[in-house]
A and B are shown apart, each in its own frame.
Chain A
Amino acid sequence: MNEILAFLFQPLLLPATLALLGGAVAFGIARWWPVACRVLALGVTAAALAAAIRIAAAHDPAAPTTVGWTWMEGLAFHLSLEVELQATTLGLLVAVGAAAFALLIAVYSFVSQAGSRWEGRFHAYLLWTLGGAVVVGLAANLFVLLVGWEIVTVMLFLLLNQGRGDAQAGAAKAFGMLGFADACLLLAVALLAALPGGSANWSLALARAPIDVEAAGAAGYAAYALILVAALAKAGAIPVHTWIPSAARAAPTAVMAYLPAALDKLLGIYLLALVTLRIFTPSWTLQVVMMAIGAVTILAAVVMAMMQHNLKRLLSFHAVSQVGYMVLGIGTGTLIGVVGGLFHMVNHAIYKCNLFLMSGTVHRATGTDDVAEMGGLARALPVTFVCGLVSAAAISGVPPFNGFVSKWLVYQGTLELGRMDPSHPGLAIALLVVAVFGSALTLASFVKVLYAAFLSPAPKDRPRPAARPRENFFLAAPMVVLAVACVVLGLFPNVLLGPVLVPSVPAAVVVGEPLVATTEAVTTGALGIWSAGPATVLILVGVLGGLAFLWVSSRARSVRVVRPFLAGEVPSPTDDRFRVPSTHFYETIRQLPLLGGWVWHGERQAMDLYHWSARHGHTFVEMLRSWHTGLLSLYVAWCLLGLTVTLVYLLIHVGS
């Protein structure tokens, strides 16, 4: 017993242990003392973050800390299950990120979840989620990773269930689809165990050389594809993305901001990086598949996002679209592309978490998620507005924010691919065009959001909340932190690229191609890393110039202001008939020949694998049920038939 306790409380396990135990305590007192759960969540997430940072500070990439505890050695067969953890650079990024986001969410939900029916449980599940995520990040074998992975899935289900209205439907769909991902991962574990020299606890440690997919044959391809599906479903790439938009509408904001926006991206892309870099070396075919998935995801999801009027749904489609960049970057297999994809994972977690938090604050202020019914919040919620603006600029890839840097790296990755593999000249260009175009559409849809929620005049025809919305420290503080992170990582990307991301990509990442890019080349910017310094100065000069111009022009007030005169009426800003809802322009997309059809099908769930399999599965179930008529003679006939078939099989088999 002491041995187990000592194992659980050593530094490498401390974040996970703290979170899991804290969650258990919170679950125990949830019914009676929700306020204590609130404080507990705050304290435990902060402690877990500190513990994770302590591991990271002591981390030496050359000699990673490893702990192992053989759990099932005594049973004399192949299955030796070991609880092994190892601090790897990338895994630590996931663990620290999970804890940091959990802390921010704990702060935010201090107010946002206060008084909700399930408040105590919310905090318990939040802590358990963190525990599962840290386990995934630090897992040194696939068995441990699988356990942490599924804990996160279950917690997502339980958290989504706490939403309003028909949240159960979205939660069920999310659990169903992520359960599919878990089943895929489980099967992949089994297939890897059956490979020669394999075991159920397939080591993820750095020491183990990756296996060549092509050398492993069909089993290798199958295992790779299964892990790929699991990673993509968690991260939310097409075609296994549909749980995110479905869950978004009714789920609590804090849940959306923590899991689908931030944590599921970290975990999904982390697994994608593991399977591509550490478990296998992918073949060219698999790389093309990944890049195609990435490109399609970017474009298809952003078009769907533009059509949404519900802020949460809009953000969730963007959460899908942005995954495309990460998958595309990692799929290129070039050092710069992979680094860009991983960096985009971090950046996306930051700005999308912030955007969801913004949507939650806006919802509190207006009582709605419909962008057409918002408006005029810029004055009431200035901090939220500025943070939302920064994040929207970041997601749209506007320099000098972090989203731009990582997208830039991904663009460079596609170009690098074209340079190294000139046999497919069209491919790199096509990918680049898709990626840039997707970025432009993202910007277009966020212009709508920002205008609608903050800048447009508030609609007069709907009842307003009695009190004027005000900023709240607990709601605003996490957003400020995240917005500052967007700016800092945009201006100084090397704080993360140099020490963390570039070293975590093994040198032999590019399959069959000469490795042109070296670590030094990336960090010094020789390979087209966007050098933030001069450009930022230029941008700042431009912004300052614009402000100066505004100031000057406002001083020289020699302008004659005339009220417009329209069709016999003088429009006044207080008259709703002259208010142009920000959503109208986007309706035109619905009427475009090609895109319109796409959107039409998309909204009718034609691309939804969950919907599709539910329909066909239902047919199968009904067919089976129709055979069970309840007729006793029929059932006896089945038994006799079964016996006969068994006998005939045995006779034939022995006779042959």
Chain B
Amino acid sequence: MSVSHLVPFLAVLPLGMAFLFVGLAHVRGGQRVVPGLAVLTVAANLVLATALIGVEVGPIFVGGWGAGKTLGIQLNCDGLAKFMAVTINLVALVSIVFALAYMRRFTKVWLFHALFLLMTGAMNGLVLAGDLFNMFVFLEIAAIASYALVGFGCEAEELEAAFKYLILGTVGSAFVLVGIGILYAMTGHLNMGMVAATLAKVGTTGPAVLLAAAALLGGLALKAAMVPFHAWLPDAHPSAPAPISAMLSGVLIKASGVYALARVVFNVLGPNAPLATVLMALGALSMVIGVFLAVGQWDFKRLLAYHSVSQMGYVVLALGAAADVLAVGGNRTVAGLCLFGGLFHLFNHAAFKSLLFLSSGALEQQVGTRWLKEMGGLARRMPVTSFCCRVGALSIAGVPPFNGFFSKLIIIVGLAMAGHPVLAALAALVALMTLVSFVKVQRYALEGEPAGDGAATAREAPLLMGVAMAVLAVICIGGGLAMVPLGAHLLDPAREVLLDGAQALKEVLP
């Protein structure tokens, strides 16, 4: 049995374990094994996702549904899906190890782990789904698990954030469902490859297709927290427990937002100029407005949340520029450069933003506040956390030799080469603003003198939290230098899928 037969387990294993945990929790002593099992599950997933790198896996039809059927469960384990799966499970493993120590002061930890695995499994399913409706279902499972996790602390602020997130998330899901419905009505298919093939015949300029495109773009942009659909994120991400913030900002908005956007625009609708313009506009708006909102924040986690909006703007902007080049039949290498930069930035952002959220959680737990002005002098009191936090900050600020520098450089060069010097200038400006806002974090949280009792008596975070952060810090430091192997094994295959546009999924055609 080759490893490709195990692909469905990426989604099935965590989902099954999640339900098993609910049962275990009601058995005497069962709660004690839950955290260990959860870590093992995620680790197994990461091993599986890594083992899939470089393995050629064709379309997989689960449960005996054959090719060419309207209905069915088809998994699409192509380069893009593998890239996303590795990213998701890597961040999930680090977050759950961090959570082992972090969640000790919470009650009902088994519920946390069940929801965590539900979310992780759904994300894995989402990136593997070769069918629009399956994608929607996994999107919803991940979203519902995340609503519950945002409100996990059950304080007033957290419940309010979860409620807002729930309402807006549902609005987004409704948009997506409308879009999928229209496409189904028009083409008679739900499978992405078959929808793409049919659309290629009927054309994508009819008003119905445009409505479907707008609904899908709007709904998925909401999941990706693009301005003006971003308003839920700065409430939801800071309110969640730190490992969940890391998951939400690190991978959820990417899997259910950016990945799905890319898949739909490139592989289903096919890159065309108006869609590309919409993507670029969303990306540029998010990039600029997100960073300006971040600069004004004094709540550390809220500042990080706004940066997620801004950094996702970079990725979507790069995708849009690539789609624009492809749409006019321009230079494929230039489009490839933009895509490489965008995907690399997606990976890097997963690493450094998770790192930042984890270290913000460690700081919050030890200092007792998220307010930057009440911290101070923590570089001395919490050296490991501060070192990791500083690595994350330098990475997101785009300082060499950390990973963020290289992806931003590639995106900015790509934008200039694709004929958008003004957007390149905006991207450079946003890089500067990001740096400025993280200088603020350094200045108030890590340097200087303690501004409160919490900061004056803070102690280093527990070992497991330190280990989790150190792993991500190593990825941030080494990610840029390891760009070539990363590119060859992960990013290039993913890029090829997007470059192939509407032709990418034609293998599923009967």
Contacts and interface: CB of A to CB of B under 8 A. Distances in A.
Interface in B305-321: none
A15 to B, nearest CB: 18
Given A172-B440, A624-B293, A642-B218, A180 B432 contact: yes
Contact of B289 (A74, A154, A624, A654): A624
A147 B213 contact: no
A193 interface: yes
Nearest to A652: B274
B488 A75 contact: yes
A635 interface: yes
A176 B439 contact: yes
Given A77-B333, A77-B336, A78-B337, 9 more contacts: A75-B484, A150-B399, A172-B443, A186-B408, A200-B409, A642-B228, A643-B218, A646-B218, A653-B274
Interface in B211-255: 211, 213-215, 217-218, 221-222, 228-229, 231-232, 234-235
A79 B413 contact: yes
Given A75-B487, A187-B412, A650-B274, A179 B417 contact: no
B421 A219 contact: yes
Given A147-B401, A168-B443, A175 B435 contact: yes
Contact of B228 (A219, A638, A654): A638
Nearest to B285: A642
A194 B405 CA distance: 19
A326 interface: no
B436 interface: yes
A194 B435 contact: no
Interface in A625-650: 625, 628, 630, 632, 634-636, 638-639, 641-643, 646-647, 649-650
Contacts of A171: 443, 447
A187 B424 contact: yes
Given A72-B483, A189-B409, A650 B435 contact: no
Please tell me the size bucket of the interface on B.
Answer: 35 or more
B417 A194 contact: yes
A628 B234 contact: yes
A222 interface: yes
A638 B222 CA distance: 11
A402 interface: no
Interface in B392-433: 394, 397, 399-401, 405, 408-410, 412-413, 415-417, 419, 421, 424-425, 428-429, 431-432
Interface in B461-510: 483-484, 487-488, 492
A183 B213 CA distance: 36
A157 B441 CA distance: 13
A154 B439 CA distance: 11
B432 A183 contact: yes
B231 A635 contact: yes
A76 to B, nearest CB: 7
A639 B400 contact: no
A31 B379 CA distance: 12
Contact of B213 (A169, A180, A184, A650): A650
B296 A186 contact: no
Contact of A169 (B295, B408, B432, B443): B443
A191 interface: yes
A151 interface: yes
A140 to B, nearest CB: 17
B381 interface: no
A650 B210 contact: yes
Contacts of A641: 228
Interface stretch (A344-352, A387-395, A502-510, A614-622): A614-622
B221 to A, nearest CB: 7
B448 interface: yes
B164 A635 contact: yes
Contacts of B417: 78, 190, 193-194
Contact of B278 (A161, A222, A650): A650
Contacts of B167: 632, 636
Closest 4 CB pairs of A and B: A635-B231, A643-B218, A190-B416, A647-B214
**Secondary structure dominating the interface of B:** helix
Given A79-B337, A79-B410, A193 B428 contact: no
B481 to A, nearest CB: 9
B303 to A, nearest CB: 12
A71 interface: yes
B401 A75 contact: no
B278 A200 contact: no
A54 to B, nearest CB: 26
Contacts of B383: 31
Contact of A654 (B205, B296, B340): B205
A189 B406 CA distance: 13
B488 A74 contact: yes
A179 B448 CA distance: 21
Interface of A: 31, 71-72, 74-79, 143, 146-147, 150-151, 153-154, 157, 161, 168-169, 171-172, 175-176, 179-180, 182-184, 186-187, 189-191, 193-194, 200, 219, 222, 617-618, 620-622, 624-625, 628, 630, 632, 634-636, 638-639, 641-643, 646-647, 649-651, 653-654
Contact of B421 (A76, A161, A189, A222): A222
Contact of B413 (A74, A147, A193, A642): A193
A556 B329 CA distance: 97
A173 to B, nearest CB: 9
Contact of A621 (B296, B413, B431): B296
A187 B171 contact: no
6 contacts: A75-B488, A172-B442, A190-B412, A190-B416, A639-B172, A646-B218
A17 to B, nearest CB: 14
B447 A649 contact: no
Contacts of B287: none
Q: Which one of B289, B296, B334 has the greatest number of beta carbons of chain A within 10 Å?
A: B296
B304 interface: no
B428 A176 contact: no
B213 to A, nearest CB: 6
Contacts of B371: none
Contacts of B234: 628
Nearest to A121: B379
Contacts of A79: 337, 340, 410, 413
A651 B207 contact: yes
A600 B472 CA distance: 50
A632 to B, nearest CB: 5
A526 B417 CA distance: 48
Contacts of A77: 333-334, 336-337, 340
A620 B295 CA distance: 11
B200 to A, nearest CB: 16
B412 A186 contact: yes
B428 A183 contact: yes
A193 B416 contact: yes
Nearest to A176: B436
A154 B402 CA distance: 12
Contacts of A147: 400-401, 405
A617 B288 CA distance: 12
A179 B218 contact: no
Nearest to A162: B447
A161 B380 CA distance: 13
Contacts of A647: 210-211, 214
B21 interface: no
B175 interface: yes
Q: Which one of A183, A638, A641 has the greatest number of beta carbons of chain B within 10 Å?
A: A183
B150 interface: no
B277 interface: yes
A78 B333 contact: yes
A176 B442 CA distance: 12
Contacts of B483: 72
Interface in B137-178: 163-164, 167-168, 171-172, 175
A194 B207 CA distance: 37
B236 to A, nearest CB: 12
Contacts of A172: 439-440, 442-443
Given A639-B229, A649-B278, A179 B436 contact: yes
